[in-house]
Amino acid sequence: MKTMKLIYPLAFALAFTFATTGCHNHKAVNVTPMPGENPPIVGGDTGGGTLPPGTPMNPDINPTNGAIATTDATMFDNMTEDRAALAAYTIHFAFDSTAIKSSEQSNLDAVAAALKSDPNLKLLIEGNCDDRGTEEYNRSLGERRALAAREALAKEGLDPSRVRTISYGKDKPADPGHDESAWAKNRRDDFVLLHPKAGT
């Protein structure tokens, strides 16, 4: 009975199709007009044509975003990146883990000490992953790793509002290889010291 209920609408649809397209059309009679350039979008059809170029990105278009005081992105404007200063203190993670291993604690201590030596300095933590995960999964995992270090530094007394995080997911491997040796190097937080630009 359930099946029959499904058949009747189909019979109507088919009967209509036969009535309109006909079983006798052995030569082409219905010429279908084709959409031209940039036709209106109907359903999933987005049409043909050439796209106009994108406008330049203007980060100030919607300046009301970014309102959490402790993480306001604008607090990190006018800083220069010093990648060398803390390069020796990169910390590494276990597979699919955001937990900071005890073996990494001395590196975190060194980073905290560097920041505490000068209150004008700020910190960028870059979270990274190995490539055994999908792209967005790794983008979130890398961010969580960077935030884990930020939280650990806060426990050491570093004001978290001086610390910004960025995740590169699996886009910036330290080692391009695809074995455990490379993966272990790629599951990491890099620390970048931020100096105030001269005159600011």
Partner 1 sequence: MNNHIPHPIKTGLPLFLALVALNFCRAQEEIIITQTGSFFGQKPIPVSLEGFTGEAEQVLKFDLYVQGFSFVTPDIAQYRISGSSTGNVVGQVTDAVSRQVKFSRSYAVASLRRQAHAFADDIVFAITGKKGIGLTKIAFKAQAPGGEGEIYVSDFDGHNAQAVTHDNAIVAAPAWVPGRLALYYTSYQPGNPDIFYHSLSTGQRSVIARFSGLNTSAAVSPDGLKVAMILSRGGSPNVWVCNADGTDFKQLTTSPEDESSPCWSPDGQWICFATKIRSRRVLARVPAGGGAVQRIPTSGVSNPTDPDWSPDGRWIAFTSQMGDFNICVVPAGGGTATVLVPGEHPSWSPNSRTLVLNRDTGWRQSLSVLDVMTKQVKDIGRISGNDSQPAWAK
Gap between the Cα atoms of 86 and 84, Å rounded: 6
Total residues binding partner 1 (CB under 8 A): 82
Instruction: Name residues contacting partner 1, limited to 78-97 (CB under 8 A).
Output: 96
**In contact, 89 and 123? CB cutoff 8 Å:** no
CA triplet 9, 15, 17: central angle to 5 degrees? Answer: 105
Give me the 181-200 binding string for partner 1, x by CB under 8 A, dash otherwise: --------------------
Q: Give the DSSP per-residue string, 88-103.
A: GG-EE--TT--PPPGG
Answer for which of 171, 175, 196, 197 binds partner 1 (CB under 8 A) is 171
Cβ nearer to partner 1, comparing 7 with 113? 7
Answer for which of 167, 188, 190, 191 binds partner 1 (CB under 8 A) is 167
What's the closest the beta carbon of residue 90 comes to partner 1, in angstroms?
Answer: 18
Gap between the Cα atoms of 134 and 169, Å rounded: 9
CB-facing half-sphere around the CA of 188: CA atoms within 13 A: 20
Instruction: Name residues contacting partner 1, limited to 94-153 (CB under 8 A).
Output: 96, 98, 132-137, 139-141, 143-144, 147
Which pair of tokens denotes residue 91?
Answer: 């910390």
Gap between the Cα atoms of 164 and 122, Å rounded: 8
What's the closest the beta carbon of residue 158 comes to partner 1, in angstroms?
Answer: 16
Which pair of tokens denotes residue 196?
Answer: 């105030």
Answer for which of 122, 164, 187, 188 binds partner 1 (CB under 8 A) is 164
What's the closest the beta carbon of residue 155 comes to partner 1, in angstroms?
Answer: 14
Give me the 38-77 binding string for partner 1, x by CB under 8 A, dash otherwise: x--x-xxxxxx-xxxxxxxxxx-xx-xxx-x--xxx-xx-
